[in-house]
């Protein structure tokens, strides 16, 4: 996805946000740039005219699970429908020089790993991707590195708690609820200092 | 040791637990809920057999996906003709009824855009942590609160635990000093800031807006600025508490009363950055440099003063900047070097959580009073931010001013800001909009959005193209 500032409106346009489900957004991922007509919820996307210029419509990217992108990917609205659509389509890893904050956070909650690599590296990867048919990238969360099939590698940072949750498929809520006593203790203390916050 | 910033203070006051890896459990005082980002969260709770932790901390309303024509709104939910939308709004009603969460439903005069309704009710207050499944939650930072947009998984997390897992952000100060030139508003201030720092300028930071210009703004104006902190890349924007803040909340329905009010005011007075607080990044801006702004491209940072022009391809610093300009020009149907005042408009939208409060409607009405919308404009909409804003405007006769000029006067909701309902742009149409995002397709498939202040949108409606509000009308 060779463009900067890809926003969540582009990742999944608003008409699909009417759904009350978490699944089924994949066919409408990048809807406005992927198809030539206007998408509507409930419309069968397999019958729609594809935009031949859009990379994901090209045969060589079929089944891709790593998305290479430019800076500030995922900016705009907080809609979690964006990672839901990416995940539903089959993406597991996103690589970009930077991500918007809310989107970055939402990815981890949905089993997607957003990897930040320096802009020069991403640039180079885009060039190689263009030039090399069959180019493949792998991301290894355990070792925190991105690898090419010819064995070159770049390491990346990821917050250890998030890494732990992603690796172990942990439920955030369950983990937090183990601290129910601390939450209650905080509430008691806070109620004494700021009672007006607890009248509702 | 250096003093604390406002953000540091809000953070510290809400810390339940700090883990070794630096992640923190932050207590949430107020959770606002709307129909689009909550159904999957309620469903998640149900599937896990969990209950909301503190029902009274939540407040809900439907806004994103509701129709705005009086005809559809007369019969409440049943009047929504789009079946999928009706189910979504109904699902919010059901979820609130099941859990006991207070909801301002369709037909309740308190219903409105979450970020207009919350402060108006005093349901969001200084010193609170406020979250909502909507990125423009940053709006509520305007009165010294820590307010952030969250995703649906986090909505579920907050419902279940009253807490949020967070990493502390860095501190950034955007300091605007000096008197604003006549005709220049809060909207122009924030668009100018985004033009200076870029849409990723605040990424990873909480932005405090300070300086004499910001202090001279009303709470409504400060909300407009904080609203668009997210367009500057910052999840949270905020302004320190002062008398303006405290006066605003006096007597609001959910605001503290009696003894609690006095206690609260005492605590709120401390919601300012210490004089010796250190910021990771400081940007200073001179108010005298700010002109009425118009966005010409497909990102809020593609903005210029109304007297300006669309940039030239040859002036771009890099190949990627040149490509993105080229793409924006193509999408927007503009030529490089074109004067912004030459852009012809098809539709006008005055509304959204950025600019749909009474102050915004008054500013627009002052401009249109006694005039007519240009015949080349197909549709001009005014969509008040809440039922109460609508009522107030009607008491002041603003609705008549608008309708006599040829505007449509609608029911409250997000409307054409994100165009989930029937209010949207046609392909290729240009719109002067008081909302906050000009992304491709944001206001309708192929639609072309130009972000401006309410007064600028109103003047553009009359002329059919952009005009410099400073030199217009007298
Ligand atoms: S008015 Fe627009 S930006 Fe504001 S909450 Fe509604 S959709 Fe979001």
The 10s digit of each residue's pLDDT in B323-353 is 999 999 999 999 999 999 999 999 999 999 9
The 10s digit of each residue's pLDDT in B268-291 is 999 999 999 999 999 999 999 999
Number of H helices, E strands in chain A: 8, 6
For ligand 1, whether the C-beta of B417 sits within 6 Å is yes
Q: How many angstroms separate the alpha carbon of residue B418 from the centre of ligand 1?
A: 7
Read off the tokens for A133.
Answer: 């048919």
d(CA A85, CA A29): 5
DSSP element (H, E) containing B389: helix B387-395
Q: Which atom of ligand 1 is nearest to the CA of B114?
A: 5
Q: Which atom of ligand 1 is nearest to the CA of A77?
A: 8
Read off the tokens for B261.
Answer: 């009010």
d(CA B369, CA B367): 6
pLDDT score of B399: 98
Least trusted range by pLDDT, from A108-112, A119-123, B398-402, B411-415: A108-112
pLDDT score of A62: 86
For ligand 1, whether the C-beta of B134 sits within 6 Å is yes
For ligand 1, whether the C-beta of B291 sits within 6 Å is no
d(CA B293, CA B305): 5
The 10s digit of each residue's pLDDT in B131-174 is 999 999 999 999 999 999 999 999 999 999 999 999 999 999 99
Best probe residue, ligand 1, of B418, B438, B444 (max atoms within 8 Å of C-beta)? B418
d(CA A98, CA A119): 8
Closest to A196 (Cβ–Cβ): which among B17, B260, B320? B260
Band (pLDDT 50/70/90 cuts) for residue B472 is confident
Nearest to A2 by CA among A84, A61, A80, A59: A61
Q: How many angstroms separate the alpha carbon of residue B115 from the centre of ligand 1?
A: 8
List CB contacts (< 8 A) between B234 and chain A: 101
pLDDT score of B314: 96
| Beta bridge pairs of residue B261 | none
Q: Are B129 and B14 in contact (CB under 8 A)?
A: yes
pLDDT score of B474: 57
pTM score of the predicted model: 0.92
CA distance readout (Å), B398 to A56, B174, B405, B423: 50, 35, 11, 21
Nearest to B414 by CA among B347, B346, B354, B461: B354
For ligand 1, whether the C-beta of B228 sits within 6 Å is no
Closest to B263 (Cβ–Cβ): which among A70, A102, A196? A196
Our CA dihedral for B34, B200, A68, A140, rounded to 10 degrees, sits at: -80
CB environment B284-314: b (16+ within 10 A), e (fewer): ebebeebbbbbbbbbbbbbbbbbeebbbeee
The 10s digit of each residue's pLDDT in A135-155 is 999 999 999 999 998 889 999
Best probe residue, ligand 1, of B37, B353, B449 (max atoms within 8 Å of C-beta)? B353
Residue ranges of the domains in chain A? 8-169
| Pure H helices in B406-474 | 454-463
Query: How confident is the prediction for chain B on average, in pLDDT?
Result: 95
CA distance readout (Å), B267 to A64, B11, B15, B198, B348: 54, 15, 17, 35, 43
d(CA B87, CA B93): 10
d(CA B73, CA B104): 14
For ligand 1, whether the C-beta of B451 sits within 6 Å is no
Nearest to B203 by CA among A4, A30, A189: A4
List CB contacts (< 8 A) between B156 and chain A: 173
Q: Are B148 and B56 in contact (CB under 8 A)?
A: no
- Contact with chain B for residue A110, Cβ under 8 A: yes
The 10s digit of each residue's pLDDT in B114-133 is 999 999 999 999 999 999 99
Band (pLDDT 50/70/90 cuts) for residue B74 is confident
Q: Do B40 and A20 touch (CB under 8 A)?
A: yes
Angle, helices A160-168 vs A101-108, to 10°: value is: 40
List CB contacts (< 8 A) between B442 and chain A: 9
DSSP element (H, E) containing B226: helix B219-227
- Which residue from A minimizes the CA distance to B150? A78
- Contact with chain B for residue A24, Cβ under 8 A: no
Surface of B (305-364) touching A: CB under 8 A: 320, 323-324, 327
pLDDT score of A171: 80
Q: What is the mean pLDDT of residues B350-363?
A: 98
Q: Which atom of ligand 1 is nearest to the CA of B420?
A: 7
pLDDT score of A170: 75
Long-range contacts at B91-100 (CB < 8 A, ≥ 24 apart): B91/A20, B91/B35, B91/B39, B91/B42, B92/B33, B92/B34, B92/B35, B92/B38, B92/B39, B92/B60, B92/B62, B93/B62, B95/B38, B95/B39, B95/B42, B96/B33, B96/B60, B98/B42, B99/B42, B99/B51, B99/B52, B99/B55, B99/B58, B100/B55
**Phi-psi region at B444: left, alpha or beta (left = phi > 0; alpha = psi -120 to 50):** left
Helix, strand, coil shares of chain B, percent, nearest 5, are 40, 20, 40
Nearest to A16 by CA among B279, B418, B270: B418
Q: Do A173 and B441 touch (CB under 8 A)?
A: no
Name every residue whose Cβ is closer than 8 Å to that of residue B318 and which is 6 or more positions away in sequence.
none
How many CB atoms within 10 Å of residue A75? 30
Q: What is the mean pLDDT of residues B300-321?
A: 95
List CB contacts (< 8 A) between A161 and chain B: 19, 21, 23, 165
Q: Do the bridges between strand A137-140 and strand A145-148 make them parallel or antiparallel, or are there none, so unpaired?
A: antiparallel
Task: Give the homologous superfamily in CATH for domain A8-169.
Answer: Aconitase, domain 4 (3.20.19.10)
Name every residue whose Cβ is closer than 8 Å to that of residue A1 and which is 6 or more positions away in sequence.
A30, A55, A67, A68, A69, A70, A73
Q: Whose CA is nearest to atom 2 of ligand 1?
A: B417
């Amino acid at each position: 996805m060779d463009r900067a500032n890809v926003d969540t409106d582009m990742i999944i346009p608003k008409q699909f946000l009417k759904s009350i489900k978490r699944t089924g957004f994949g066919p409408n991922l990048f809807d406005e740039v992927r198809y030539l007509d206007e998408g509507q919820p409930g419309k069968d996307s397999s019958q729609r005219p594809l935009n031949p210029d859009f990379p994901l419509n090209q045969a060589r990217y079929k089944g891709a699970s790593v998305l290479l992108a430019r800076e500030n990917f995922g900016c705009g609205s907080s809609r979690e429908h964006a990672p839901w659509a990416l995940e539903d389509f089959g993406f597991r890893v996103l690589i970009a020089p930077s991500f918007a904050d809310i989107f970055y956070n939402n990815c981890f909650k949905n089993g997607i790993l957003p990897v930040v690599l320096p802009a020069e590296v991403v640039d180079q990867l885009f060039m190689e991707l263009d030039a090399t048919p069959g180019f493949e990238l792998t991301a290894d969360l355990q070792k925190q590195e991105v690898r090419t099939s010819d064995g070159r590698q770049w390491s990346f940072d990821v917050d250890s708690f998030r890494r732990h949750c992603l690796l172990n498929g942990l439920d955030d809520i369950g983990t937090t609820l183990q601290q129910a006593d601390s939450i209650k203790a905080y509430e008691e203390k806070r109620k004494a200092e700021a009672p007006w916050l607890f009248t509702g | 040791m250096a003093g604390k910033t406002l953000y540091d203070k809000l953070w510290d006051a809400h810390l339940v637990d700090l883990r070794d890896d630096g992640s923190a459990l932050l207590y949430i005082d107020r959770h606002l809920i709307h129909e689009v980002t909550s159904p999957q969260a309620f469903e998640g709770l149900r599937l896990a057999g969990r209950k909301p932790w503190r029902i009274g901390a939540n407040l809900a309303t439907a806004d994103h996906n509701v129709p705005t024509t009086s005809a559809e709104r007369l019969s409440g939910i049943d009047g929504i003709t789009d079946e999928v939308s009706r189910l979504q709004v109904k699902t919010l009603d059901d979820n609130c009824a099941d859990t006991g969460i207070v909801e301002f439903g369709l037909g309740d005069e308190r219903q409105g855009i979450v970020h207009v309704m919350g402060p108006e009710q005093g349901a969001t207050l200084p010193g609170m942590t406020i979250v909502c499944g909507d990125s423009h939650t940053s709006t509520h930072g305007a009165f010294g609160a820590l307010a952030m947009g969250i995703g649906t998984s986090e909505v579920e997390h907050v419902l279940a635990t009253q807490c949020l897992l967070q990493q502390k952000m860095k501190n950034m100060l955007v300091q605007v000093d000096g008197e604003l030139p006549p005709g220049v508003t809060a909207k122009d201030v924030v668009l100018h800031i985004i033009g200076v720092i870029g849409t990723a300028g605040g990424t990873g930071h909480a932005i405090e807006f300070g300086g004499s210009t910001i202090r001279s703004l009303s709470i409504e104006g400060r909300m407009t600025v904080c609203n668009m902190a997210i367009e500057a890349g910052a999840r949270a924007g905020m302004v320190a508490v002062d008398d303006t803040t405290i006066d605003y909340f006096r007597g609001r329905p959910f605001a503290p009363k009696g003894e609690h009010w006095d206690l609260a005011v005492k605590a709120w007075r401390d919601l300012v950055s210490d004089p010796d607080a250190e910021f990771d990044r400081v940007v200073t801006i001179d108010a005298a440099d700010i002109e009425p702004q118009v966005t010409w491209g497909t990102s809020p940072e593609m903005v210029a003063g109304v007297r300006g022009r669309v940039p030239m391809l040859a002036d771009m610093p890099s190949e990627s900047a040149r490509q993105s300009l080229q793409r924006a020009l193509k999408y927007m149907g503009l030529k490089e070097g074109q004067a912004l005042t030459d852009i012809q408009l098809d539709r006008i939208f005055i509304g959204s959580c950025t600019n749909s409060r009474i102050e915004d409607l008054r500013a627009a009405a002052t401009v249109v009073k006694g005039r007519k919308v240009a015949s080349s404009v197909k549709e001009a909409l005014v969509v008040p931010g809440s039922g109460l804003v609508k009522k107030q405007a009607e008491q002041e006769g603003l609705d008549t001013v608008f309708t006599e000029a040829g505007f449509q006067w609608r029911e409250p909701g997000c409307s054409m800001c994100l165009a989930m309902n029937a209010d949207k742009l046609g392909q290729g149409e240009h719109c002067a909009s008081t909302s906050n995002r000009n992304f491709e397709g944001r206001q309708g498939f192929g639609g072309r959005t130009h972000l401006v202040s309410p007064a600028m949108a109103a003047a553009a409606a009359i002329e059919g193209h952009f005009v410099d509000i400073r030199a217009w009308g007298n």
